[in-house]
Structure 1
């Protein structure tokens, strides 16, 4: 009975907070918030929002940085896959995706800030021999710049590897080798052959991940707080500041800003989808024209090179955080610290371990809930021979497509009314909303691809469905289950807004603390927190890869 109810329970876990939360955000935007005196429809919040100094700039920043980061990330990811496909270096470079994908957005943003700021590591590596600077240039703005270029770069450090991974996953559904051989036989260069023959088959499968990247980039808060301009900030940051203000009157314009953020995301997704039509027509004409296009090959290779540069910057960002966490003296323009220490690590150890413990507890609990719901849904689907359609996939992506700021404030209102705000239960539930889609998407294909003859053989020996699931399916799926758990744990570690709103500021994690201190704390403390943020997911991935090998070391096919 519980197995049959698992899809409904999963839908409730995802849809109820998003639906009610969005409703409780939209109503205050139009003046309805009885708790603070809003009893009638009003456009006062919108008028106050539009009259805010710098509002047009905040809206422009959200739009330009979000669309630019998404478009460039997709361009670089496609260029990398087209250039490196079927080459030996592809497997080598793929190994470096793990640390980039495991590190939370805020940790990467902190490392990137340390890397590109006027006194950052890149400037130190180039000074004074290339730049002539023997002290940091005071008139150079590279972080929190007015155009949001640093924000775009920080987003690309995470989104480019993510889209590369999505393209690789979609490639498994396409006969890549046969398709490329046919295109090469027609005289196409390798990279252009992949772009013309393989990518058109892959793009429909990665459209939803691209939309998720677009929605996130348009409404990101933690990365924007670290790398984006502060006066005025992007729209989502403006709304977050107002929600956190002691002046309750700001809730109305804050709700209006969050509602506008939702409208902006919907508009951009619709516009992106509409732009696909003329672009696909132009691409079809280009493909049908045939011929060996040297310029296109050069452009694709340049995009692939851009992806490698982005990956290198991401790895340098992670390395830079580690250096700062143990640096005692690192004066400009020294390329490396001149002295080292671990005193600050020892002094901050108790506090950091407490934050890491809370982060780990929330992550483990949210992953366990997500795994139970995912496995129950997949097992129910298999036992009842169900075939989920496109709508089910869209429902999974809803938490990733709806801006967090658009419904988390409403969720906080509901939690306050039920007396659950600031509790571990509330934070775990808020994390499950975002962890569950990633766990389900990571585990669904391996579960559905499991050879049904294993279960049929066990059933023929008299085993009941429950025993077949526990004794046959789970051992065979040990590695995919653990990898999905590691993915979900990494997602949980990186959650900033869900922890902030559901925890009511009383639940402290590594992410909330690192973002809070990013504005002006000791770089060594920030580096240590960011390093711990990245270390937890990497440890989870290591466990996911090592446990099956240890458990099934005498069973070759299960240990791989």
Structure 2
């Protein structure tokens, strides 16, 4: 590629990335500006809802994080490495493709007051959930699948399997192998995933609106309500509530680091007591139950949905936004890996590890200043802030594993940089690129805050409709909207799976 063209393409790429990540600046200003006023802090601390909301947020987050990690490790201990582990990996996309709102809607329709379970058994009374226990349990099940999917990629390392086999051949059980060999090597590689899961759970608004608690709600819902007000004082309270979410995230990180260091000091020197008879029944049971939950979710929504078509505009907007953001994100991800910066790029991962609420608020501030709120393209731009980093998260490890000798050979044959990128690297990245497209599509479908604020109520999607209906709308219509929200990423995942099978058939070297 000629140098002027390469410089032009690099400049356009940086401009596109800067445009997508520009909301980080107003989000930081809006977040920290009220923090220097004692009056705003006093108003926030005097709010009677704050203590209960903070406690519900902390409890639901801890339940979700500890529960998801426990489920994933329990399954790994019971099945890895074995043929059953490989079979489970093929079923994980069934639940991975289910959006959070659709999964939460199915749980609400089954277990909430007036739901199917309590209609079938009128003598039962649903407990009052003031601490977000139901929210935490639902997210624990949903996030455990994502952790298992990530662990499947990490546990493919041959050296780790050999170490595990060696330890078990010495008479140690599966749980001892997990605690002494797998966890010390696995958790450091999972830190970005666990951090993203914690940040998302802390700032989840859509799922918290569906599952509760209601009055007072979680801290993220309170912050969203305050930031949505036109009053300056209420918006300052919302910004400070977002800052509290960040402080809570930092406290959880410090706590996790302390527990991790304590755990590392407890690892024995492999001369201790053997426990070969490991109790693996819970792990095997969870491995069977998790894929069945996706079928239960689909069945519940299908049985409760009415026969009428869901809102055609919502389906069209959801499909268009997801396809548009996925295609744009895929192109930008490939170009960024080839022509982007190689160092000092930690800011790329900020949307994954920061609560979504202040970022969506920063996007909204820019949309208001540019008079672009309520536009379809503005909502598409808002989705890219989360679609891009998630696609990069899937694509970057595969890019780093490319053999540089292939490019060197191509360059010795006279191929330029662009031709090497297009003819050598892109075909080798076809499978991870298709997987990244599937994840990006699902991420776009689930976006609630950017769609709600940037769309200004004029760009309705299946997610915004489902959340709105959960607060008192028609139950059949809620099931219909949630079912369609589930079907779109499910069909897209199916199309990607068929493409992967086709690629493996015609290009056996890329299997």
| TM-score (normalizing by structure 2) | 0.91
**Aligned match of 2:498:** 546
**Aligned match of 1:361:** 320
The question of whether the paired residues in 1 share the 8 Å contact of 2:172 and 2:276 is answered with: no
Distance in 1, Cα, partners of 2:174 & 2:315 = 46
Q: 1:115 to 1:95 in 2, by over 3 A?
A: farther
The question of whether the paired residues in 2 share the 8 Å contact of 1:151 and 1:228 is answered with: yes
Q: Give RMSD over aligned pairs.
A: 2.6
The question of whether the paired residues in 1 share the 8 Å contact of 2:199 and 2:249 is answered with: yes
**Aligned match of 2:58:** 63
**Aligned match of 2:508:** 556
The question of whether the paired residues in 2 share the 8 Å contact of 1:422 and 1:503 is answered with: yes
Distance in 2, Cα, partners of 1:6 & 1:273 = 40
Q: How many pairs does the alignment contain?
A: 505
Q: 1:92 to 1:548 in 2, by over 3 A?
A: closer
The question of whether the paired residues in 2 share the 8 Å contact of 1:396 and 1:437 is answered with: yes
Which of these residues, 437, 443, 451, is aligned with residue 485 of structure 1? 437
**Aligned match of 1:332:** none
Alignment gaps of 5+ in structure 2: 1-6
Task: Give yes or no for the alignment of 1:413 onto 2:365.
Answer: yes
Which of these residues, 451, 463, 469, is aligned with residue 415 of structure 2? 463
> Alpha-carbon deviations, 1:328-383, whole Å to 9, x = none?
xxxxxxxxxxxxxx2x23xx4xx2x21111112212222223222211122237xx
Describe how 1:453-532 pairs up with structure 2 within 5 A: 453-532=405-484
> Alpha-carbon deviations, 1:430-470, whole Å to 9, x = none?
21111111111111222332344544454444433222322
> Alpha-carbon deviations, 1:176-223, whole Å to 9, x = none?
331122101221123432332222111110011111111111221111
1:153 shift after superposition: 1.5
Distance in 2, Cα, partners of 1:161 & 1:2 = 42
Q: 1:472 to 1:119 in 2, by over 3 A?
A: same
> Alpha-carbon deviations, 1:398-449, whole Å to 9, x = none?
1111111123223312221121222223222221111111111111222332
Distance in 1, Cα, partners of 2:275 & 2:118 = 38
Describe how 1:334-349 pairs up with structure 2 within 5 A: 342=307, 344-345=308-309, 348=310
**Aligned match of 1:319:** 299
**Aligned match of 2:135:** 151
Does the residue aligned with 2:23 lie in a helix, a strand or coil? helix
Distance in 2, Cα, partners of 1:61 & 1:71 = 15
| TM-score (normalizing by structure 1) | 0.83
Q: 1:201 to 1:111 in 2, by over 3 A?
A: same
Task: Give yes or no for the alignment of 1:373 onto 2:319.
Answer: no
The question of whether the paired residues in 2 share the 8 Å contact of 1:66 and 1:217 is answered with: yes
Task: Give yes or no for the alignment of 1:162 onto 2:162.
Answer: no
**Aligned match of 1:35:** none
Distance in 1, Cα, partners of 2:189 & 2:16 = 24
The question of whether the paired residues in 1 share the 8 Å contact of 2:89 and 2:152 is answered with: no
Which of these residues, 140, 157, 160, is aligned with residue 126 of structure 2? 140
The question of whether the paired residues in 1 share the 8 Å contact of 2:55 and 2:131 is answered with: no
The question of whether the paired residues in 1 share the 8 Å contact of 2:62 and 2:136 is answered with: no
> Alpha-carbon deviations, 1:116-170, whole Å to 9, x = none?
235545567xx5xxxxx3x363x3237xx21211101221132100111121222
The question of whether the paired residues in 1 share the 8 Å contact of 2:376 and 2:455 is answered with: yes
Describe how 1:8-19 pairs up with structure 2 within 5 A: 8-9=14-15, 12-13=18-19, 15-19=21-25
1:232 shift after superposition: 0.3
**Aligned match of 1:256:** 240
**Aligned match of 2:26:** 20
1:11 shift after superposition: 5.6
The question of whether the paired residues in 1 share the 8 Å contact of 2:373 and 2:454 is answered with: yes
The question of whether the paired residues in 1 share the 8 Å contact of 2:378 and 2:455 is answered with: yes
Distance in 1, Cα, partners of 2:272 & 2:14 = 50
Describe how 1:27-426 pairs up with structure 2 within 5 A: 27=33, 29-30=34-35, 42-121=37-116, 133=121, 135=122, 137=124, 139-141=125-127, 145-173=129-157, 175-245=159-229, 247=231, 249-282=233-266, 284-285=267-268, 288=270, 290-293=272-275, 297-298=278-279, 302=282, 305-306=285-286, 308-326=288-306, 342=307, 344-345=308-309, 348=310, 351=311, 353-380=312-339, 388=342, 392=345, 394-426=346-378
1:8 shift after superposition: 4.3
Q: 1:454 to 1:167 in 2, by over 3 A?
A: same
Distance in 2, Cα, partners of 1:420 & 1:9 = 19
Distance in 1, Cα, partners of 2:183 & 2:15 = 37
Q: 1:528 to 1:136 in 2, by over 3 A?
A: farther
Distance in 1, Cα, partners of 2:246 & 2:93 = 31
Does the residue aligned with 2:81 lie in a helix, a strand or coil? coil
The question of whether the paired residues in 2 share the 8 Å contact of 1:67 and 1:217 is answered with: no
Distance in 2, Cα, partners of 1:366 & 1:513 = 20
Distance in 1, Cα, partners of 2:500 & 2:348 = 28
**Aligned match of 1:38:** none
The question of whether the paired residues in 1 share the 8 Å contact of 2:63 and 2:133 is answered with: no
Which of these residues, 481, 485, 493, is aligned with residue 533 of structure 1? 485
1:77 shift after superposition: 0.6
Q: 1:311 to 1:149 in 2, by over 3 A?
A: farther
Does the residue aligned with 1:420 lie in a helix, a strand or coil? coil
Distance in 2, Cα, partners of 1:479 & 1:7 = 24
